[in-house]
Structure 1
Amino acid sequence: MKKRQNLLLFMMMTMLFYTGVNGQNKTPLFTNFEYKGDDKVYKENPLNSDEFYTPILQGCYPDPAITRKGDDYYMVCSSFAMFPGVPVFHSKDLVNWTDLGGVLNDVSKFNPHDTGISGGVYAPGITYNPHNDTFYMIVTAFSGGLGNIIVKTKDPMKGWGDPIKLDFGGIDPSIFFDDNGKGYVVHNDAPAQGKELYNGHRVIKVWEYDVENDKVIPGTDKVIVDGGTDITKKPIWIEAPHLYKKDGSYYLMCAQGGTGGWHSEVIFKSDSPKGPFIPAPSNPILTQRYFGRDRDNKVDWAGHADLVLGPDNKYYGVFLAVRPNEENRVNTGRETFILPVDWSGEFPVFENGLVPLEPKLKMPKGVENNTGKNGFFPNGNFTFTDDFTSEKLDYRWIGLRGPRESFIKTSKKGLQINPFDTNIKEVKPTSTLFYRQQHNVFSFTTTLNYKPKSEKDLAGVVALQNEGSNYVFGITKKDKDYYIVLQKNSWPRRRGTIISELVASTKIDIKKPITLQIKANGDKYEFNYSSSKETDFKNLGGTVSGDILSTDVAGGFTGALLGLYATSANDAQPK
């Protein structure tokens, strides 16, 4: 009896700690989340029964790589300082994809805790080796002194092993297994010391790979591409190499031109995986660089691709590209697109990859479009809701520089965030649960039950491109009153100290939960609030520019992230 009384007392004390005597949360409690995308391109291009949309992964899912085992396809993407590292997806048909979480999900093995948002880990490769029935994920990790690493598994559905550090420099590695089981690693690197001819001059190297001991074989490295397709024309940033074998010949496919407006995909051929590799006369085989800046439904920056044989015995290529808004700003980031590939001739060519890209594709024969249903990743315009009552949080929710599990707790009441003593502007893990911006026109809405104790406490929502380019919209305290504030944090033109500006603030009554909303129409962002459950929204701060949420203004390689944020290191002071 006494034990039961003690347990009840403990539960009551715990409830009081979290909610306070008046039912208001001392620890921020988020409920009733909704993300809604409403892009014009999807409304103007409805799907027929035999079609699907590309990009297949909307939002910041760049640098895709893909592999196949039987009827199963696995695809990975870059994650930079987002956590877990290297998101991995599964499909049976290249149309309907399931999110499996991240390959690098153990913070004791991969810890980007002090990494700028565009550091961390990027440009992965994934390859299935039929000779030992093993999947390999190889990637460059810019944190913890890891460098280039490889991770293995027999079954990506069941998780991955520990990272194995590889002894070579450069970036963008991928691994290839020949018909005889021999392994090779190709990657981007700088030219040998003293041999750099111009800015952006890079080389592609190949190493023989010791499959039994998981290491590159010392002394086997060789430069197989110097500069790019034609070094006399000073091509820049030859990178993201992948090796393939078809009809007894070896093909090396690479990105060239940098990951911006001159981005492209090129192909080379050889009789040996160690070269010499001869560029195709038809290069590039994929690019969007030749078309007008102001074209409708613009897709740009296409490149960084990988090929796979599809379920209809036809080749397909996944690649990154961007969908700028009306100001040609890239807030949704580099996304994962797909196109069929014609490899009926000597060299592969992306079908319609050299004309302005369209939003719709014909599905492989016999495939049904179930995107957004039955657990499959959505695309097009969609609504994602979450009440945070499930024990297993959706994988689309991520941490930054550390695991989300270190600061969140889900329950029948909703999502509690335990605030870190870290501000969103610091290059440290923050107590922010992030969701990628996936549309140019969207709303991001949640209800917050919270009673800050001091001016150092704040909880709310953020729109973030990096630590020095973001908006903070939340509830805090000044003296005995409670306020909602909108803060803009931005870098000066030449970086340096982050400039923080209080855009607006207003006194509010927090006796009832407050609903917060980020709403965007292209480059125009609004921050709204309501105390009456998502009706009768009031705007704070007017319409503000989304420029600082774009890579072309803020720099870096990521798209905008939308977050549920709490901190005990707030510096947004109301007026």
Structure 2
Amino acid sequence: MATVKSKETPLSWVCEVIEEKRKNMIRNEMKKSKHKQTAVWLGLLLLAVLSACRHVQDKDGGRIVAGNEPIFQNFEYVGKDEIYVENPLPEGHFYSPILQGCYPDPSITRKGDDYYLVTSSFVMFPGVPIFHSKDLVNWKQIGHVLERESQLKVGDAGISMGVYAPDILYNPHNDTFYLITTQFAGGFGNIVVKTKDPLQGNWSDPIKLNFDGIDPALFFDDDGKAYVVHNDAPDEGKELYQGHRVIKVWDYDVEKDQVIAGTDKIIVDGGVDISKKPIWIEAPHVYKRYGKYYLMCAEGGTGANHSEVIFVSDSPRGPYKPAEKNPILSQRHLDKSRPNPVEWAGHADLVETPNGDWYGVFLAIRPNEKGRVNTGRETFILPVDWSGEWPVFQGGMEPLKPSIEMPRGAENKTGMDDFFPSGNFTFVDNFEGTGLDDRWIALRGPREKFIRKSKNGLVIKPFNVNIKALKPISTLFHRQQHATFSASVDMHYKPETAGDLAGLACVQSEAFNYVFGVTKSGKDYYLVLERTEKGTSKLIAQTRLERMGKISLKVTANGDDYRFYYAMNNGTFENLGGTVSGDILSTDVAGGFTGAMIGLYATSANDIKVE
């Protein structure tokens, strides 16, 4: 017989008693009743009461009772890189990178004193994060460009497929913003979308463009004519070496939003000097200055040999002549043993300020102590001197410093008033209110299909696929933005079967990741830590949990050293699995183009077997 509790009894205890009583009553009634319907109706009645108990919190602060839909609370990300401790901001300076973590392939444009910046997003959903600034220092994320399923069809794509190298450009002739990009999924290829006002969003559905290749960019001339430049393969039979690529130009019909058939022309073959077999000339942009047309491209591939090069012509259709001093931006020639190295610099875009100054945004990486790239390719910025014939990235061929001087008239407000933080910072999300912070993304499908807000926190509906699947997964991700960080969250969860699991996941891709979560084996609950490398999984550690209630999960990293911790019901954090390597969370080990992410994960297709 159950003991009657006092009025201080936590509601969670009452719910557990009801649940057990429901099961016992059904069993008893099934044994003695000639009419099984009686047992069924009694069971359903108590089940309704039990359902009312789920996802509620005691008035006295007791446990939240959650079933196999976990409730997440109190997410906290803390970045503590030593470089920012050793290099506090001098007066009048701001930190670069301006977007830390996996924000690669930046493109920038301006209308009046409004700047807009976008980056690649691959299969992240929503896609193409877009930022707004008035001064190039303080940036607010205003949403995503590709946020509807009609715009982004990446549901079965690997993590490094999807959206590559978006180019954003304002056309003053029709007061319209264009975003042109390559989407390697959904049968799209090269596409363009448009809006009158990025602050309002409302980007159009994609228009598929009739050309192959990658990295397209638009150029609008003073006379209103438009052009597209992009990377492509050489003509058939003319490839001279592996990595040999060309830059093409097309005339573009603004009324029909399509390249004009038959106008394609190769304007760069191979790179600056084809006799040296340059690889991967790509990411072209055209600018007009001094009555001439400047073509700026990345060269060397988006890795250790990455660089930015420049050409000039009297016509947007060429022929283009390279500058005598190329590259104009790179870190590849510098001493690899230098302190706090920044590498892989390239893939740049330029913007002119209203007062005639120039700046360039570009990607680069900050490797950890083992040279690994867990934070991925990030967005940096430098002033550009274009007082002479050629644009010169100021300091772009020297070891990049952690901070640069602010533009004239700017005031550093990063991390305040919804401006994106930089340097060392803390991000806290209690999942209150109706909206979701734009830093949170899903993979391959909308967040709204598996999350909902409750008065107790964020509820994740587990999909019947796990984190290794090339399908939408029920995981909400935050980018890793520092080499040294911690990320923690409180979770209320009660798995019902061995197929249920929820917790944290540290993910570089579907084939390279760590899963740290709670599951069930028999009648017991377990916390497990699994490492997946090249698609092969190994159970690193497990521990049996006495009973399920609130569990706090935390992951920390100090460079390559990662550790996973847990605490039950506000107790002391305990480590599970010791110190593990972050190698599989690094781009240079896992391959691909993304950076590591921390996920709030749930699945009903768990394949981790407790030993």
> TM (normalized to structure 1)?
0.96
Write the distance in 1 (CA, Å) between the matches of 2:301 and 2:55: 50
The corresponding residue for 1:528 is 565
Residues 109-508 of structure 1 mapped to structure 2, 5 A cutoff: 109-159=151-201, 160-491=203-534, 498-508=535-545
CA distance in 2, matches of 1:47, 1:12: 58
Contact residue 101 and residue 481 of structure 2 kept, 8 A: yes
- Identity across the alignment (%): 64
Alignment partners' CA distance in 2, 1:322 and 1:312: 31
> Partner letter of residue 65 of structure 2?
Q
Whole-Å separation in 1 of the counterparts to 2:357 and 2:537: 53
Shift of 1:350: 0.4
Distance in structure 2 (CA, Å) of the matches to 1:520 and 1:166: 43
Contact 1:391–1:411 (Cα < 8 Å) also in 2: no
Q: Specify the SS of the correspondent of 2:537.
A: strand
CA pair 562-282 structure 1, distance change in 2 beyond 3 A: same
Q: Which residue of 2 aligns with 1:64?
A: 106
- What is the distance in 2 between the residues matched to 1:219 and 1:429? 39
**Unpaired stretches in structure 2, ≥5 consecutive residues:** 1-45
* AA partner of residue 551 (structure 1): T
Q: Which residue of 1 aligns with 2:145?
A: 103
AA matched with 2:72: F
Distance 1:23-1:92 versus aligned 2 partners, 3 A rule: closer
Shift, 1:107, TM fit = 1.0
- For 2:558, the aligned partner's letter is N
1:541 lines up with 2:582 in the alignment: no
Q: Deviations over 1:320-361 (max 9, x none)?
A: 000000000000000000000011110101000000000000
User: Paired residue for 1:5?
Assistant: none
Is the contact between residue 94 and residue 310 of structure 1 (CA under 8 Å) also seen in structure 2?
Answer: no
CA distance in 2: counterparts of 1:346 and 1:329, whole angstroms: 38
Is residue 92 of structure 1 aligned with residue 134 of structure 2?
yes
Find the aligned partners of 1:19 and 1:191 in 2 and give their Cα distance: 62
User: C-alpha displacement at 1:389, in angstroms?
Assistant: 1.2
Contact 2:490 2:553 in 1 (8 A): yes
In the alignment, which residue of structure 2 is the partner of 1:495?
none
* Mapped partners of 1:510, 1:474: distance in 2: 15
Residue deviations 1:351-410, cap 9 Å, x none?
Answer: 000000000000011110000100111000000000101211100000001111110011
Q: 2:601 aligns with which of 565, 570, 573?
A: 565
- Give the SS at the match of 1:131: coil
Aligned letter for 2:515?
V
3-state SS of paired residue (1:74): strand
Counterpart secondary structure, 1:333: coil
With over 3 angstroms needed to count, the CA separation of the structure-2 counterparts of 1:293 and 1:151, relative to structure 1, is same
- Partners of 1:42 and 1:162 in 2: CA distance: 42
Matches of 1:228 and 1:57 in 2, distance apart?
29
Distance 2:319 2:163 in 1: 30
Cα offset, 1:411, TM superposition: 2.2
Paired with 1:288 and 1:18, the residues of 2 have a C-alpha distance of 53
Alignment check: 8 A CA contact 1:332 1:437 kept: yes
SS of 2:84's equivalent? helix
Aligned position for 1:25: 66
Asked whether the 8 Å contact 1:152–1:161 carries over to 2, the reply is yes
Aligned-partner Cα distance in 2 for 1:311–1:531: 56
Aligned residue in 1 for 2:554: 517
Matches of 1:557 and 1:237, distance apart in 2: 15
Change (3 A) 1:23 1:251: closer
How far the C-alpha of 1:571 sits from its partner, in A, is: 1.0
Determine whether 1:44 maps to 2:86. Answer: yes
Cα displacement (A) at 1:126: 0.6
Q: 1:10 to 1:475 in 2, by over 3 A?
A: closer
| CA distance 1:279–1:551, shift in 2 (3 Å) | same
1:572 Cα offset (Å): 1.2
Given that 2:64 and 2:549 are in contact with CA atoms closer than 8 Å, whether structure 1 keeps it comes out as no
Q: Distance in 2 between matches of 1:140 and 1:158?
A: 23
Q: Secondary structure at the match of 2:199?
A: helix
Is 207-216 or 505-514 further displaced after alignment?
A: 505-514
Instruction: State whether residues 55 and 456 of structure 2, in contact with CA within 8 Å, keep that contact through their aligned partners in structure 1.
Output: no
1: CA distance, partners of 2:554 / 2:547: 16
SS in 1 for 2:542: strand
Q: Deviations over 1:157-200 (max 9, x none)?
A: 11111111110000000000000010000000000000000000
Asked if the contact 1:451/1:510 (under 8 Å) is kept, the reply is no
Matched, 1:77 2:113: no
Counterpart of 1:44 in structure 2: which amino acid? E
Alpha-carbon distance in 1 for matches of 2:514, 2:331: 32
Q: How many residues align?
A: 560
How far off is 1:17 after superposition? Answer: 4.8
Native 8 Å contact 1:312 1:365 kept in 2: no
Offset of 1:532 from its aligned partner?
Answer: 4.2
Aligned partner of 1:196: which letter? E
Larger Rg: 2
The Cα RMSD (Å) is 1.5
Amino acid at match of 2:76: E
Aligned twin of 1:552: 588
Question: 1:395 and 1:294 mapped to 2: Cα distance?
Answer: 37
Shift of 1:313: 2.5
- Contact 2:328/2:392 (CA < 8 Å) preserved in 1? yes
Q: Secondary structure at the match of 1:464?
A: strand
CA distance in 2, matches of 1:237, 1:437: 28
Structure 1 residue 16: Cα displacement: 3.3
Give the Cα separation in 1 of the matches to 2:466 and 2:561: 25
Separation in structure 1 between the aligned mates of residue 262 and residue 369 of structure 2, nearest angstrom: 51
Partners of 1:470 and 1:549 within 8 A in 2: yes
Task: Return the alpha-carbon distance in structure 1 between the equivalents of residues 452 and 74 of structure 2.
Answer: 15
Cα offset for 1:48? 2.4
Shift of 1:510: 3.7
3-state secondary structure, aligned to 1:157: coil
- Going from structure 1 to structure 2, the CA distance change for 1:15 and 1:349 (only over 3 Å counts) comes to farther
Which residue identity does 1:325 align to in structure 2?
N
Whether the 8 Å CA contact 2:348–2:363 is kept in 1: the answer is yes
Distance 1:49 1:119 in 2: 42
Contact kept, 8 Å, 2:57 with 2:456, in 1: the verdict is: no
Query: Matched residues in 2 for 1:30 and 1:510: separation?
Result: 18
The runs of 5 or more residues in structure 1 that have no matched partner are 1-8, 492-497
